[in-house]
Amino acid sequence: MYQNKVGGRLLAVGGRLRTIYCLLLTAACLLASGCGVRFDMQDQPRYKAYKKEDGTFFSDHRASRDAPEGTVARGFLKENKALYTGKIDNPNANVQVETTTNAAGNTIVTSFPNAIDEFPVPVTKELVDRGQERYNIYCIVCHGPVGAGDGMIVRRGFGAPPTYHDDRLRNAPVGHFFDVISNGWGKMNGYSAQISANDRWAIVSYIRALQMSQNPEEISKLNGSSTSSAANTSTPAARNPNTPAPANANTTGGRR
């Protein structure tokens, strides 16, 4: 009787273990099949950008495609030619820039065809201050603190750029400076990739400020014109003695 009870319990335990083993095996199979599906989805065939593929979907086997001809990205149309090039709207391509070589061996520009004469942005104190900041970052190493072409790398042997303070560049249009900053000239590389168009115009405004600061005659002209303007506005014109005074003038015998 006792042995029958023990045997029955053992059989019951064994059945439970088999059931547990079957459940574990089923769960393992489900997990394995699920992982397999996810693994396949992660590694499904696809093209990678800028990589040359072996497939034949495109005839040139390139994964990245060129934009259609004439496509312009949003915000890059640049309709304002003066703002983005420093040139007039309809430049004459037949007019060539005239150059000469100075004593230092630099090829310098002597004519400025198609360059605009006026700033395409408002020249404010904030613009000049921004130009000074950008000038001190990108330009001062060659052109020097006041634009005399005596920057630190020039003092260490690099060829000196032309000074901003000769008559040629003092009379140059602002579009010329913008064009040189954008595209480079001579030993100078273009900075259009590093400096935005607005910041390039800010630098040009600061260059103009430097030219005025180093040209006392120009400052005297400005001071003289401002003084004469102030005098004209503040000093009343002399009255012709033959012209009768107004009735309400405070003169002898007159009325108040």
Per-residue pLDDT for 2 more than 60? Answer: no
What token pair was written down for 163? 């000074």
Q: Could you tell me the sign of the dihedral formed by the alpha carbons of 77, 82, 87, 90, in that order?
A: positive
User: Tens digits of per-residue pLDDT, 186-209?
Assistant: 889 999 999 999 999 999 999 999
Rounded distance, CA 50 to CA 96, Å?
40
Domain architecture of the chain: domains with CATH = 81-219 (1.10.760.10)
User: Tens digits of per-residue pLDDT, 148-172?
Assistant: 999 999 999 998 999 999 999 999 9
Q: What pLDDT was estimated at residue 131?
A: 98
DSSP string, 129-144: HHHHHHHHHHTHHHH-
Rounded distance, CA 36 to CA 25, Å?
17
